[in-house]
Amino acid sequence: MDVETLRAVPLFASLDNAAALQLCQFLSIGDYPSSTVVFRNGDPGDSMYLIDLGKVRISLTDADGHMITLAELKRGDFFGDMAMIDGQGRSADATVLEDARLAKLTREDFLSFIKHDPRVTLELLTALTHRLRRTDDLLRHRIARNVNELEAAHMTLADRAADVVAEFGGSWKFIIAAIVILNFWVILNSWVLLDKGFDPFPYILLNLLINMVTALQAPIIMMSQNRQALKDRLRANLDYQLNLKNELLLSDIVRRLDELAKKKSHE
């Protein structure tokens, strides 16, 4: 990888020619055919990768066994940086989607480089923050969908019936249908059947039916509203847990970068 290609990577865009040339000496280039797994979740993480050519998918598998694509990276992007910084295992899978040429930077070489040029540390922190925000948005959508799926899996026939009644009872369809039925009832008993109407004025039977419908409809609608409130509380709790996790992750990133800066200052 030459100096111009390296400086095209946003992480190293602020480097001057001398610093970029020095960093190029630390990089080892390798070709990776399509479908190659660069690393898997949990593998030891002692290096990061820069994409010179091709495309790489970053993904993980959730608790249900479904693969979640976190990002599809192309030329100029980098990955594997988080595990390289903290020296712990990989947090996701990296798979080559198109034949790729990757430049590998080990943890030892990275630490040696930032001793001489700490500007990369700030750029790396910015990039990690952007990725954290993107992952936050992705997980928000998945959590919302999982809440709905979990709630739907536990719905009984009575719950579904309550939702149908509540949806219909709070719509213009119900209002229009009620107006049509009430007018038909009055016209039928007052004008069409005249003295032979089965419910003459003051329409006692009609009032009885309306009271019965109201008495049954109100608790059914409340059942649906209570279940919706329970789902909202569950979603709010998951949102809180997600925000708390992201805050802790961001604090951990800042702490580790501070440790790197202190090591540099002591040396």
Share of the chain above pLDDT 90, in %: 11
**82-125 pLDDT tens trace:** 777 777 788 889 999 999 999 888 888 877 777 766 666 666 66
Whether 193 shows a pLDDT value over 90: the answer reads no
The angle subtended at Cα 245 by Cα 243 and Cα 249, nearest 5°, is 115
pLDDT-derived band of residue 265, with 50, 70 and 90 as boundaries?
Answer: confident
Phi then psi dihedrals of residue 197, to 5 deg: -65, 140
Residue 5 CB contacts under 8 Å (≥ 6 apart), including other chains:
52
User: Residue 117 has what pLDDT?
Assistant: 64
Whether 20 shows a pLDDT value over 90: the answer reads no
Whether 176 shows a pLDDT value over 80: the answer reads yes
Give me the residue spans of the domains in the chain. Answer: 3-117, 148-255
Tokens of 219: 């608790």
List 73's β-bridge partners, or say none: 56
**44-84 pLDDT tens trace:** 888 888 888 899 998 888 666 777 787 888 888 888 877 77
Stronger pLDDT, 119 or 141, i.e. the higher one: 119
- Rounded Cα–Cα distance for residues 55 and 52 (Å): 9
Q: What is the chain's Cα-based Rg?
A: 32
* Residue found by looking up tokens 């109201």 in the block: 214
On average, the pLDDT of the chain sits at 78
The CATH number assigned to the domain with range 3-117 reads: 2.60.120.10
Global pTM value: 0.49
- CB-count burial class (<10 Å; 0-12, 13-18, 19+) for 130: exposed
Helix, strand, coil % (nearest 5) of the chain?
A: 60, 20, 20
Residue (of 11, 123, 129, 139) closest to 70 by Cα position = 139
User: Residue 100 has what pLDDT?
Assistant: 92
> Which of 86-95, 137-146, 159-168 has the weakest average pLDDT?
137-146
The answer to whether the beta carbons of residues 49 and 38 sit under 8 Å apart is yes
Stronger pLDDT, 173 or 145, i.e. the higher one: 173
Interval 123-137 mean pLDDT = 64
Tokens of 174: 């119900």
Q: How many residues does the chain have?
A: 267
- Rounded Cα–Cα distance for residues 182 and 177 (Å): 9
**26-48 pLDDT tens trace:** 888 899 999 999 999 888 888 88
The answer to whether the beta carbons of residues 98 and 51 sit under 8 Å apart is no
User: Residue 184 has what pLDDT?
Assistant: 92
Stronger pLDDT, 146 or 90, i.e. the higher one: 90
